[in-house]
Amino acid sequence: MPNNDAHQQARKLIALSGAEILSANQLSDQQSSNAWLAAHLETCASCRTFAENAADTIHGLRAIPIAAGRGLVSTTQIRVRRRALELQRQRERMWLVAVSCTAVTLCALLSTVAFWLGFAWLGARAQLASSVWQVGFLVFCVMPALVAAILLLAKAKDQG
Ligand SMILES: [Zn+2]
24 Cα–ligand 1 center, Å = 19
d(CA 38, CA 138): 104
What does the pLDDT look like over 61-111, one tens digit per residue?
Answer: 777 776 667 778 888 889 999 999 999 999 999 999 999 999 999 998 998
Q: For residue 104, count other CB atoms closer than 10 A to its CB.
A: 10
Q: What is the value of pTM for the model shown?
A: 0.39
Q: For residue 10, count other CB atoms closer than 10 A to its CB.
A: 24
4 Cα–ligand 1 center, Å = 8
7 Cα–ligand 1 center, Å = 4
